[in-house]
Structure 1
């Protein structure tokens, strides 16, 4: 279980989250809906250890997150181009985490040729699928999807969400979905938190 207790995040002098506590269980699909600028992306960055927490604790199965090595909470951000080294191929960045086989590439509609290119040679939608594939490392326990399919057409969105939901069920992944699309949240999430209407999840 992902257990967040009394989490406070202050950024640039602004208190984005104040003493927030919530839990996400293995296999649970939790949606978070809030306006732009509310701090959803920053919350995701803190949970995935991309950014330091101001105060509070984040544990998985009662254990603190590792200071080094692979984090069991992975974030696929809204702007995946910012998470790739511009001087390396996307395949090199992917293999830093794990080496998915051809079947995995097909499931997420990733063209193997994209893995031989640098990030600036690919579209946002192409990078989003590679970033998602990277985050689905077998070691991942909780996945944060921040507008992860926003840059895809309807057909590809459906394909990607089908894969994600299959993995949630098969691996009992905890899934946290950030989206401005209420219809999507209603369809893929078992519960939805709207923090502008509540103080805690």
Structure 2
């Protein structure tokens, strides 16, 4: 169980989230729908341990998330290009986490030749797919997807979500999905939390 309890989050001295709580079971896909500017991206960064929160707790199976080493909660942000070292190839970045085989690359529409290139030599959609695959390290227990397929063509977007549903069912992997596309959330999630 991924448990978020009474979370308070501030950004630049402005409170974005107050007393936010959410429980996500193993294999569950939870969509979070909120207006633009509400702070979904900041919430995702906090849940993955990328930035601090002011009050509350975040636990996985009743244990705090690790402060060092691999974190079993992984975030694929809305702008994944910002998570790549511009001086290293995307393949090096991927292998820092794990080494997917050719079948796994194909399932997520990642071409092997992309992994020999640096981030500025790829499109945003290509980087998004590599970032997603990097986050799917076998050790990952919770995936946070922040508009992760927004830059992709509709048919590739559909394939990616089908693969993520399979991942969530087989591992099982919990997925928290932030998206402005309410129809997408209704299709791929086991439940949707609407925040006004």
Whether TM exceeds 0.5 here: the answer is yes
| 2:181 equivalent to 1:185 | no
Q: Structure 2-normalised TM-score?
A: 0.98
| SS at 1:106 equivalent | helix
1:65-104 per-residue CA deviation (whole Å, 9 max, x = no partner) reads 0010111111111100011111111111111110111111
**Any stretches of 5+ residues in structure 1 without a counterpart?**
197-201
CA root-mean-square deviation: 0.7
Take 2:71 and 2:87, find their aligned partners in 1: how far apart are those partners?
A: 24
Structure 1 segments (4+ residues) deviating >4 Å: none
| SS at 1:131 equivalent | helix
Take 1:141 and 1:149, find their aligned partners in 2: how far apart are those partners?
A: 20
Take 2:38 and 2:121, find their aligned partners in 1: how far apart are those partners?
A: 32
| 2:162 matched residue in structure 1 | 162
1:109-134 per-residue CA deviation (whole Å, 9 max, x = no partner) reads 10111111111110000000000000
Take 2:30 and 2:22, find their aligned partners in 1: how far apart are those partners?
A: 11
Aligned length: 196
Shift, 1:13, TM fit = 1.1
Take 1:3 and 1:78, find their aligned partners in 2: how far apart are those partners?
A: 23
Q: Structure 1-normalised TM-score?
A: 0.96
| 1:199 matched residue in structure 2 | none
| 1:121 matched residue in structure 2 | 121
Take 2:172 and 2:69, find their aligned partners in 1: how far apart are those partners?
A: 22
| 1:103 matched residue in structure 2 | 103
| SS at 1:59 equivalent | strand
